[in-house]
Structure 1
């Protein structure tokens, strides 16, 4: 198996989900006591979040890139950034780390295209919903039109992510807010909704019955792409 480097801690709540899903995926495919060959670096999210708020994206990208270079030195052969938001600086991370990146937008775009989705709603941090980097990746690479909620709903989604989910807090009222926002996106013409923050599936179960449109969990899709990559045979 090939060794994956996991840039985590943003937040550690969702990084724990990545770790579980990747190990479960390898065990399911290989059987027995097999588990995922990983190199994990968990950064201090408070430092990264402060750089996000300050708009210091170049500095944040260089921080993750240096961390990724450490994973390369420890034996990682590729990188996974365990957060949607920090894919905003994916190019910097690749350049600074010297490793190829399994992009969360590719895992998501491939699943959306395979399902025949043409227009998808996007939920995530304010940065992910408003800065356009993930929407462009999905549109240019996979032909997916991306829509986001109106500003008050974007603010509420962002608040729930940072004030609750990243801190291990889950409220029924927040679950209801997500259900309302997902319903509104469906009514606006979206034929799917992307859970475009790696913490959202801690609150919203994509497999639960009753959603008006299919929900695509970027965390699960990204972890599955990592399992596929780790189990590919290396070529000389």
Structure 2
């Protein structure tokens, strides 16, 4: 099995979920005492969040490239960025390393197309919902139209991510708010919803949603394990 390198810490709550999923998927594939071979370079989210608020994406690109280079030097064969928002600077990462980089939108786009979904709701940070780096990739690479909540809803979705979920706080009232946003997206024609922030999976499960859920964290982790195993036979399903 090849070694998966993970740029984590944005937030560490979702990075811990990545670690859990990578190992569960590897065990499901290989059985026994197997787990994923992995490395994680963890950045300090306080620094990242401050640069995000300041709009200094160039500095953020430098930090992500440094973390990716650290993983490559440490022996990683593949790099994952364990956050949707920071894919805004994926070009900086790809330019810094010689090993493959697995973009988080691509496993999600592949799963949506396989399910016949062409119009999908997108929940995430306001950067992910409002900028074109994610919506544009879904459209140009996968032919999928992404709908985002209205301005007030985007503010609430973003606030809950940063003020609650990044701190491991899960509130029933916040789940209810997200459920109302999902219902509004369904009314506008969304056939499914993307949990386009790696923390949202802590709050919304498939049974909580009026629409089919596509969880970027789980899809990203599974695609990484599939890549790392490269055809080492399937020996069981994920429980």
Which band: TM-score by shorter chain? over 0.9
Query: Which residue does the alignment assign to 1:164?
Result: 164
Q: Describe the SS at the equivalent of 1:106.
A: helix
Distance 1:233 1:213 in 2: 32
- Kindly report which structure 2 residues correspond to 1:113-192, keeping only aligned pairs within 5 A, or say none: 113-192=113-192
Q: Which runs of 4+ in 1 moved over 3 A?
A: none
* Equivalent runs, 1:39-54 vs 2, <5 Å: 39-54=39-54
In structure 2, C-alpha distance between the alignment counterparts of 1:233 and 1:146, rounded to whole Å = 32
- Indicate the larger mover: 4-13 or 211-220: 211-220
SS in 1 for 2:164: helix
Does the aligned pair in 2 maintain the 1:84–1:104 contact within 8 Å?
yes
| TM-score normalised per structure 1 | 0.96
The answer to whether the 8 Å contact 1:117/1:144 transfers is yes
CA contact (8 A) 1:10 1:45 kept: yes
Query: Alignment RMSD, CA only?
Result: 1.1
Aligned to 2:235: none
Structure 1 stretches lacking a partner, 5+ long: none
* Deviation digits for residues 25-74 of structure 1 (CA, Å, limit 9, x no counterpart): 10111111111110111110011111111111111011111111011111
1:62–1:96: 8 Å Cα contact kept in structure 2?
no
Structure 2: segments with no counterpart, 5+ residues: 233-239
- 3-state secondary structure, aligned to 1:5: strand
Correspondence list, 1:217-232, <5 A: 217-232=215-230
- SS across alignment from 2:26: helix
Structure 2 residue matching 1:64: 3-state secondary structure: helix
